[in-house]
A and B are shown apart, each in its own frame.
Chain A
């Protein structure tokens, strides 16, 4: 027996294998520092923020709140989102199982048998998360216990040990550990009994399946529980929270939207005119129906947090005001610079200058130029053109209402546009980023082969036509990239907006990020601020997805 083992060892650890292992270990060791840092300050915080966001947390951890923070922020949309996430998880589980079962049958195994180790691994993960759930507050408590005491290694390790020995925690840990051991043993047994190279793949797929399925079911259960809780609370005050109608309306709105989008896309493929029109009409009516139902979302969100709703509006204005101008100006400049005239290097450097300037300094300059004084640079310019000086950064009125007021007619509230204060910030943002976008457009122009352009010119196209039908479409990947970066950037923007913040602008320039930071930094509501941050994250994800869908299909990669 021992001889056999020795032989196996010798056979296994050939020089080749040893070298491979050395190589692998070198690889892991080299990425270890960055993996640890990125996990600690980049990945773990997401889970931690989720944990914070379901608690009452002002400076210190308070009681568990469930989804209350989210309900305060975006109202009943919370339930819709949870419901959709649950549905998504269950659909994902279904798709996985649909794909995996035929493959298993091909190999002649029983599917339910193969799902056992997958389930055990899922259980391990779930139990580990449960352990973290109990352990985290104990860990966090250590820091408080250390206040006022001398920090010694002994004291710290004693407190660590104590935090682990709390009955709930150590029980959770042992559940996790035993399940892990059982899972590994079962896995080994499976590999022994069912010899198959694809076992690992099946097991990991089943693990995903169980995770998706059980998360989905748990989410549905949790959603229902929370909805019933809301109804119970409402019963006492005698109001109708109206969750169910809203959930149903919005859900069917989204389904209609998806259907309409599909019909719309299908309409392009159909050859028969009649069919084309029928489809077009169908798609339009579906989309209109969807729009009416989805229109419920803003109403629901608006009934949530006023600051957040305001921040959302400001951010949308900021994004819409910045990105299109930025892109068109920089594309124009790039095309001009690409003519390679004398001095274009110099111009490129000058256009890039605002981007390298520290934001805070350039914001300080803009505050000076757009100050609320008759002698501020911009007001001097306005006066020399015979116009009224404005309050700029301290003006909360919308830009369109100011423009129309000077022409003596008033416009409805919804059409007032971004406030003048926000307009200044938009100008600053465009000024800053035009150079950066120009440089990237220049690189994009450099990638277009001259053959295509020459061919077009030989065919008799003039300069404008060459630009319109050759250069512009071939630049679409760059435009796509820059618009994505621009939209996400405006949603994330913080530093400049914070510098520009003036109390007299009545919060009309407080974007979403600023609203979050105020909750966190000034009001010290960590839990609520975390919930808001997650809402922002969700919006960025949806925007990225929609941008990819809508624009991605039009990008022409040459």
Chain B
């Protein structure tokens, strides 16, 4: 009997040490992965504080911190203007896209009308179309619209925002969420005499903070990332977003890598702030939207 307990204890001890070993290995791998993920960021920040000579040199860290780099990059690259432009573009497309998508998503989720599923299917299938197919005709359309309308489209906000207001992805995301709202809520609201619109405004929207937050972050990321389209439709700095601004600055600054890195830091900061605040909802809804395909 005693022997059996002893061997069991031994086994347990072995198992514990085995588990500890496994944990250690897992941590080693995870830390290695985190290291690879973070090194570029650290390098960017350290380079942004270097002098021009140091940025070309071999040392990883600067001797003394050159804060002026940020001031210089900010002024030379017109970042203040591009920042404001990007914020305005994001704001306008968000307002437009959220309004349009909420209405459509609600209608697709909760109202039954003939042809609903067919229209939704056609909309979803447009996600297959690569942007390179639509970019040329859209450029022609936008040019045309700008010529016939009293308002300028190219080099102005309409060209940068209106084509993205009808976002299939946003509609899809919101529809999936709206469809999960229990019918009882709607019936109760209807008993109290509320129509679709009041139900939408007073019950559905307050309930949908999470997906709306995701749309906010994704729209923000989209407008911070988009390159091809703004490159086409902005030829002056008036409405040029930060993505194109940074690209131009990379070409302009040439060998002054410290300034380029300072510019990169500036352009990354706002999106990181938003990400840290919405981190949890964001990753979760990415995971969910991914699984549903």
Which A residues contact B (CB, under 8 angstroms)? Answer: 23-24, 26-28, 30-31, 33-38, 40-46, 48-49, 52, 139-140, 142-144, 146-147, 151, 156, 332-333, 336-337, 339, 341, 343-344, 347-354, 356-362, 364-369, 371, 373, 375, 377, 380, 431, 434-436, 439-440, 442-444, 447, 478, 481-482, 491-492, 494-495, 498-499, 513, 516-517, 520-521, 526, 529-530, 533-534, 536-537, 540-541, 544
Contact = CB atoms under 8 A, between A and B. Distances in A.
A494 B227 contact: yes
A163 to B, nearest CB: 11
Contacts of A40: 141, 166
Nearest to B114: A24
Given A439-B286, A540-B130, A358 B232 contact: no
A45 B133 contact: yes
A481 B290 contact: yes
Nearest to B107: A30
Given A333-B33, A350-B38, A49 B136 contact: yes
Contacts of A35: 104, 119, 123, 166
Given A336-B30, A375-B56, A536-B133, A364 B291 contact: no
Given A41-B138, A42-B168, A360-B247, A443 B228 contact: no
Shortest 10 CB-CB contacts between residues of A and residues of B: A37-B166, A443-B287, A48-B137, A27-B113, A143-B147, A30-B107, A45-B137, A27-B111, A34-B104, A45-B134
Interface string B75-101: 000000000000000000000000111
Interface in B102-145: 103-104, 106-108, 111-114, 116, 119, 122-123, 126, 128-138, 140-141, 143-144
13 contacts: A23-B112, A27-B111, A30-B106, A34-B103, A40-B166, A41-B141, A348-B283, A356-B272, A358-B268, A361-B264, A365-B40, A365-B41, A526-B136
Contacts of B171: 34
B286 A358 contact: no
Q: Which of B130, B140, B147, B271 has the most CB atoms of chain A within a 10 A radius of its CB? A: B130
B163 interface: yes
B10 interface: no
A151 B149 contact: yes
Given A30-B106, A42-B129, A364-B260, 12 more contacts: A23-B111, A24-B111, A27-B113, A45-B134, A46-B137, A48-B137, A142-B147, A347-B33, A350-B37, A352-B283, A431-B37, A482-B290
B34 interface: yes
Contacts of A435: 37
A181 B290 CA distance: 47
Contacts of A357: 41, 268, 271-272
Given A41-B141, A443-B287, A495-B226, A533 B130 contact: yes
A440 B112 contact: no
Size bracket of the B interface: 35 or more
A71 B249 CA distance: 39
A27 B47 CA distance: 55
Q: Looking at chain A's contact residues, is the secondary structure mostly helix, strand, loop, or mixed?
A: helix
B267 A360 contact: yes
A495 to B, nearest CB: 4
Contact of B44 (A144, A365, A491): A365
A353 B130 contact: no
A34 B100 contact: yes
B150 interface: yes
A326 B108 CA distance: 35
Contacts of A343: 30
B236 to A, nearest CB: 17
A45 B141 contact: yes
Contacts of A482: 290
Given A146-B147, A375-B57, A447 B291 contact: yes
B279 interface: yes
B272 A156 contact: no
Interface of B: 23, 26-27, 29-30, 33-34, 36-38, 40-41, 43-44, 47, 56-58, 60, 99-101, 103-104, 106-108, 111-114, 116, 119, 122-123, 126, 128-138, 140-141, 143-144, 147-150, 162-163, 165-166, 168, 171, 196, 221, 224-228, 231-232, 242-243, 246-247, 250, 257, 260-261, 263-265, 267-268, 271-272, 275, 279, 283, 286-288, 290-291, 293
Contacts of A498: 227-228, 247
Contacts of A516: 132
Contacts of A337: 30
A170 B279 CA distance: 58
A151 B150 contact: yes
Q: Which of B34, B37, B60, B149 has the most CB atoms of chain A within a 10 A radius of its CB? A: B37
Contacts of A369: 40, 43
Contact of B268 (A52, A361, A495): A361
A23 to B, nearest CB: 6
B40 A339 contact: no
Given A377-B43, A439-B287, A368 B134 contact: no
B34 A350 contact: yes
A45 B138 contact: yes
Contacts of B36: 431
Contact of B261 (A140, A364, A495, A499): A364
